[in-house]
Homo-oligomer: A and B are copies of this chain.
Amino acid sequence: MAVVTPRPELVAKLQAAREASLALAQASTVQKNRALEAIAAAIESSVAQIVPANELDLARGKENGLTTGLLDRLMLNEARLAGLAAAVREIIALDDPIGIVVRGRTLPNGLKLSQVRVPFGVVGAIYEARPNVTVDIAALALKSGNAAVLRGGSAAEETNKVLVALIQQALESVGLPGESVQTIDEFGRDGATELMAARGYVDVLIPRGSAGLIETVVSQSKVPVIETGAGVVHVYVDATARKDWAIDIVKNAKVQRPSVCNAAETLLVHQEAADRFLPELLQALRDADVTLHADDRSAEYFPDVVEVTEEDWALEYGSLDLSVKVVQHMDEALAHIRRYSTKHTESIVTEDIANAERFLNEVDAAVVMVNASTRFTDGGEFGFGAEVGISTQKLHARGPMGLPELTSTKWLVRGAGQVRG
């Protein structure tokens, strides 16, 4: 592995982003909101420009054999662009995190200390074939006072080029530097690698996309990364679980939107609850077209299953598949979760207060729930208004990230000639 250094053309872009970030850091909320409105309006009024560029990407994608799923993500039409513009306007309504005093005090020597929220400066994003992320990240970065440098992937290159140009014009129309939002797609895959090496130029890097993409960024990046990871999410149905809650929660967690990271992948059932309602619960899941990957004990209650494999326990299906296991006791459930959890979201269904508190205490995950569907792990549901992603790391941010998670802080000290004795 050779040591990677960013090429001069990339460094020039990053320096321009740094310059722009100085202006953004000083921009008022009013000015930033005006820029967001200009971006939303530009998206709405430029359908005739964006859609043809997007069609070029789609045609190339088909030639290159992109899957239907990827082509669908890539596609922008008038309705989707209206949705994107609406999403930008939602960010206008959010509180500006910049300048918020996090804490402060007067020290015994009279120094006035305050810790205030400031932008990171330059935020990098690496993602794949999702041009909506271009607008999304640009808008979130802008509202939090950060410049954004985007590597959106070659599959969406034509679309991203048009979108970034529109965003830059919108920024300039309200007196903010166009270089606040830039794409580095023209440098190809090597550009992404060089962006990861640009420590000092980029303050934080956010990968968004497949587990493979995130793993690559996390393991290669010299720039600090906020990891938005995979979810191997468990629901544990305890001995005392209410039957109606257990069925509602498991079904909702698996079926309501199986492709997302907060959907459940594994059901653990206490053996004393198994008799009582495993047949009914598994039947409800089968009725919702769920393929059950079950251990021997669950299969005793409901034979219409696939045999679960060791690999299945660690798998984020992202589909209507569910691993099922009957456990002897709560210890076994906790041990299973400790072993296979990706520390995203874990939920227990129980009527036993001691077990509920023990689960909350002992399970190590970004979000730990009692008697609720794992699908609630979401910035919107948590009341953040918009979601930057769901962090599965422990440094800086954990769980759903809102605008404040796109900021740092600095300490301000106001004195009157104090010196240290």
List 30 A–B pairs whose Cβ atoms lie within 8 Å, in order of A's numbering.
Answer: A1-B3, A25-B364, A105-B383, A107-B381, A113-B382, A118-B364, A121-B394, A199-B218, A199-B219, A224-B395, A244-B417, A252-B420, A256-B419, A360-B412, A367-B411, A368-B413, A370-B414, A371-B414, A372-B419, A373-B419, A373-B420, A375-B419, A376-B418, A377-B411, A394-B408, A395-B408, A398-B408, A398-B411, A399-B409, A399-B411
The smallest C-beta distance from A22 to any residue of chain B, in angstroms, reads 7
A396 interface residue (CB < 8 Å to B): yes
Complex Cα gap A373–B110 (Å): 13
A201 interface residue (CB < 8 Å to B): no
A203 interface residue (CB < 8 Å to B): yes
Complex Cα gap A244–B360 (Å): 57
Considering only residues 101-121 of chain A, those with a C-beta below 8 Å from chain B are 105, 107, 111, 113, 115, 118, 120-121
From known contacts A121-B364, A252-B420, A395-B396, infer whether A371 and B415 are also in contact, taking CB-CB under 8 Å: yes
From known contacts A366-B411, A395-B204, infer whether A219 and B222 are also in contact, taking CB-CB under 8 Å: yes
Chain B neighbourhood of A375, CB < 8 A: 419-420
Copies of this chain, tallied across the complex: 2
Considering only residues 352-406 of chain A, those with a C-beta below 8 Å from chain B are 356, 360-362, 364-373, 375-377, 381-383, 393-396, 398-400
The smallest C-beta distance from A251 to any residue of chain B, in angstroms, reads 8
Chain B neighbourhood of A34, CB < 8 A: none
The smallest C-beta distance from A178 to any residue of chain B, in angstroms, reads 21
Complex Cα gap A367–B411 (Å): 5
A410 interface residue (CB < 8 Å to B): yes
Complex Cα gap A251–B219 (Å): 45
The smallest C-beta distance from A24 to any residue of chain B, in angstroms, reads 12
A248 interface residue (CB < 8 Å to B): yes
